Structure 1
Amino acid sequence: MTSTNSSPSARDAGAAVDDGHTDDEHIADGVLESDRLIERGPGPRESIRSLRRSLNISSVGAGVVSAVFGCTGPALIIVDGADSAGLTPGQTVAWISAVYVVGGLISFIMGLYYKQPIVGAWSIPAAALVVSSLESYSLAEMIGAYLVASVLVLVLGLTGWVRVLVAWIPMPILMAMIGGVLIRYAVNVVDATAAAPIVVAAALLGYVLLSRFVRQVPGVVGALVFGVAAVLITGGMDSSGNGFTWVTPELTAPEWNLFAMLGVGIPLALVIQAENIQSMGVLIAEGYRPPVNSITVISGAASLAVAWMGGHNASIAGPMTAICGSPEAGRLRRDRYASVLVNGTIFVTFGLFASVAVTLVTTLPAALITALAGLAMLGVLLTAFRGAFATSTFRLGALVAMIIGLANVTILGISAPFWALLGGLLVSLLLEFDDFRRPQGATDQEKEAA
């Protein structure tokens, strides 16, 4: 069985030799005193002291790309859903402002304290669940359900149960879930190419040129620059909107509907925690030891604040954490935390000027955003699949987890990461039970001897 933050293991040893640096130089890659309820990290003083070195073109580029991804398509999910539910413009702006401002603050808190690329945001599957539920319940009743979900997630963190849960999940199954869930972003690049061949071709060209000839700069930065240039040259900006308008956020008091609290609140808590576990897996795949309990606690606590402002629950964003934690964000893992500070700055600014910002992001073509997200995932996917199938254990469970994650299935309002983990675990328990008795860090010969 695995342990994401227990005693030193093979994974921690890998962190110690990354890029030829010592364990002391990589102390920020780990979590200190992980047996504490709230794991201790290097602290903001250490992060601020090394920020000048860590804030480079790679970390800035990854932070911008992840923020562009988070502020475009996902924002439109909220806008479209709020419009379909008949919310007022003030309620819509309050929703968007809450999730982006609080998400950005989470990035600052976690990035500075733990010196890890932990990106605060909100769950896209949770937003989809909320949008569909608004057909049956009022916004006030949904806010009551948000608060119930927030308390459930907070209890999961404060009791330490989440640490036991994550520690028990076999690493190959967790990595396969990450690969299955995230691979669709890479696959979508093909569809984006068909939809906007010139723009995406320019982005791909920028990615290849920088990856091949300017390796100090991540390829995704070249994709962003070349892609935007192609959009401007071809006139691909959507200027069909009605211009910029300022809308004052409108707060809504919660109402307590038992059916909404049970039918939406409980599934929403599961969706949020599935997103958090996905993000933890992304960090583990990149060689970090994420603060499992702290991630859950801050998600629950921040969700309480977001709910009172009219937004749905906060979480750690899997895709954006993948972008900010990947090699595209910097050759050294210890420097990648700076990318979440860039992301957090853009998120907070986006949230504060939500009514104007939403109009702005709708001018960017969706195909370019899709291409950028897919290219940014390539390194993470390679790492995830190596972790899923490099050993002889849990292979069938990992394969099933990958398939379910790839299918992107949603059942009872709960998204794919949860079902991928559950399906992979059930298959391994039924057909690969002996693998649970073998040490995960052992070689194949040692496992056979065991």
Structure 2
Amino acid sequence: MNAQQISTGILSALMACTGGAIMIITASERFGFSSAALISWLFIVYVVGGAMNLWLALKYKIPFAGAHSITAAAFLSTSAAQASLPQLAGSYIMAGALVALLGFTGVFHKLLELIPRPLIDAMLAGLILHYVADIVPVFQEAPLVAALSILGFFIAPKLSKALPPLLGVLLFGLAGLLIVHKFPAIAPTAFSLPQLVMPSFSVTGFFSLALPLAVLVLSNDLAVALAALKKNGFEPPANKAVAASGLGTAFAGLFGGQAINIGGMMTALCSSEEAGDKPGRYKAAVVSSVLVMAFGFFAWKFIAIIQLLPDYFIAMLTGFSLVGVLLGSLQAAFKETSYKYSILFAFVISISNVSFFGISSAVWSLLIGTIAAKLLKEGNSVQQAPQNTLNSAG
């Protein structure tokens, strides 16, 4: 194992253990979960998620890396605030079962093609837009912290292309906090094992939560990861990878975890040239997975530290962690000139965060956007990428 593999693995793990953890903590606070439920959530998605990706990387000598779906966590915090933990658990299990079924049958890429990719991007952009917008009020509440954070956002990539901007935000922002904020004493926390949740299943839960969760995991994690692997010269067992992520997600639901899957950007990083020679790139994924597992095991300690941070700082970190996702989604959605009104409908409906008949705005945005595209005959000339690149069987 060389320095390139180790450094790339560390950076990959940071993607999951910074923005991903903050998204889960934010969602947990909106749900009103106890500390024990939050620790259970973090433990299961990081320890088991890291272990699954570690197993895949070692078994196939392919750089599979990941833990859980950050976009799924973002969706939950906006669309599922009224759901109980048993209802959430049931929805997670149904989402995992759906993903696993698509993997075992080998039709995942065909089914995903029914929804135009630009509409999925527009829906995701609408869901997370307000998180990024929440950065702006911080300049009024804590101008020094906000200024230093945005300075770190631009400086970190300048120092090294391998450094994620969020790392600069975190380090520079903490420096500002040390100047202007008085930290309270660390509250004592105790280690606890994941808590088994008795799931509650419903038709509303399937359509309002499970279905959009499955779509997000498939399109924004699995499709991206598998496309990146093929782009970098690997031949991943696509069906088996999808099935493993589905089974992992269903298992995580039993303990209150929203997803366990192969990560899109984490796998893209570990499979890139930054991880060194191609035969050894899977070792970067091994490093990433081990660090992710360690983070999950000690999550009960990290929670106590993160909870010392003021609300505006958490909001700012959450926003910055999603800047790249928002930018990529907006660019991917609106660059398709053959889609016009359907993308706009999907984007605006998703932003509204209004549910009808118990069905979330995310589902309505995809449904109405897809119907509009068909009625208006939009997108006929657009190729559906990256789904069509994933035809290799597992």
Structure-1-length-normalised TM-score: 0.65
Q: Note the 1:165-176 alignment, pairs <5 A.
A: 165-176=111-122
Name 1:115's counterpart in structure 2: 63
1:176-197 residue CA offsets vs partner (Å, 9 max, x unmatched): 3344344434322213333332
* CA distance 1:414–1:300, shift in 2 (3 Å): farther
Q: Note the 1:208-287 alignment, pairs <5 A.
A: 208-211=154-157, 217-237=163-183, 239=184, 243-249=187-193, 251-252=195-196, 254=198, 260-264=201-205, 267-280=208-221, 283=224
Tell me how far apart the structure 1 counterparts of residues 119 and 20 of structure 2 sit (CA, whole Å): 27
Cα displacement (A) at 1:301: 0.7
* RMSD of aligned alpha carbons: 4.3
Cα displacement (A) at 1:396: 2.6
Partner AA of 1:71 in structure 2: A
Matched residue of 2:213: which SS? helix
Matched residue of 1:270: which SS? helix
Cα displacement (A) at 1:201: 1.0
* CA distance 1:186–1:439, shift in 2 (3 Å): closer
Tell me how far apart the structure 1 counterparts of residues 351 and 326 of structure 2 sit (CA, whole Å): 12
Cα displacement (A) at 1:68: 1.9
Name 2:123's counterpart in structure 1: 177
Q: Residue 181 of structure 1 contacts residue 405 of structure 1 at CA under 8 Å; is this kept in 2?
A: yes
Cα displacement (A) at 1:273: 0.6
* CA distance 1:228–1:195, shift in 2 (3 Å): same
Name 1:431's counterpart in structure 2: 376
Partner AA of 2:19 in structure 1: F
Tell me how far apart the structure 2 counterparts of residues 107 and 409 of structure 1 sit (CA, whole Å): 35
* CA distance 1:80–1:371, shift in 2 (3 Å): closer
Cα displacement (A) at 1:385: 3.5
List gaps (5 residues or longer) in structure 2.
231-235, 385-394
* CA distance 1:231–1:334, shift in 2 (3 Å): same
1:204-250 residue CA offsets vs partner (Å, 9 max, x unmatched): 1222334456556444332222112222233353x255x22324337
1:387 aligns with 2:328: no
Tell me how far apart the structure 2 counterparts of residues 73 and 338 of structure 1 sit (CA, whole Å): 27
* CA distance 1:236–1:402, shift in 2 (3 Å): farther
Q: Note the 1:28-107 alignment, pairs <5 A.
A: 52-56=3-7, 60-61=10-11, 63-78=13-28, 81=31, 83=33, 93-107=39-53
List gaps (5 residues or longer) in structure 1.
1-48, 442-450
Matched residue of 1:190: which SS? coil
* CA distance 1:91–1:61, shift in 2 (3 Å): closer
Tell me how far apart the structure 2 counterparts of residues 389 and 176 of structure 1 sit (CA, whole Å): 8
Cα displacement (A) at 1:359: 1.8
Partner AA of 2:217 in structure 1: N
Tell me how far apart the structure 1 counterparts of residues 271 and 314 of structure 2 sit (CA, whole Å): 21
Cα displacement (A) at 1:203: 1.0
Match of 1:363 among 308, 328, 338: 308
* CA distance 1:282–1:386, shift in 2 (3 Å): farther
Q: Percent identity?
A: 23
Q: Residue 107 of structure 1 contacts residue 120 of structure 1 at CA under 8 Å; is this kept in 2?
A: no
Tell me how far apart the structure 1 counterparts of residues 6 and 174 of structure 2 sit (CA, whole Å): 23
Tell me how far apart the structure 2 counterparts of residues 164 and 97 of structure 1 sit (CA, whole Å): 34
Cα displacement (A) at 1:325: 7.2
Matched residue of 1:100: which SS? helix
Matched residue of 1:133: which SS? coil
Partner AA of 1:276 in structure 2: V
1:412-445 residue CA offsets vs partner (Å, 9 max, x unmatched): 5555544333232111111125x42x3639xxxx
Q: What number of residue pairs does the alignment pair up?
A: 371
Q: Residue 40 of structure 2 contacts residue 256 of structure 2 at CA under 8 Å; is this kept in 1?
A: yes
Name 1:301's counterpart in structure 2: 247
Name 1:189's counterpart in structure 2: 135
* CA distance 1:369–1:78, shift in 2 (3 Å): closer
Partner AA of 2:4 in structure 1: R
Partner AA of 1:53 in structure 2: Q
Q: Note the 1:15-34 alignment, pairs <5 A.
A: none
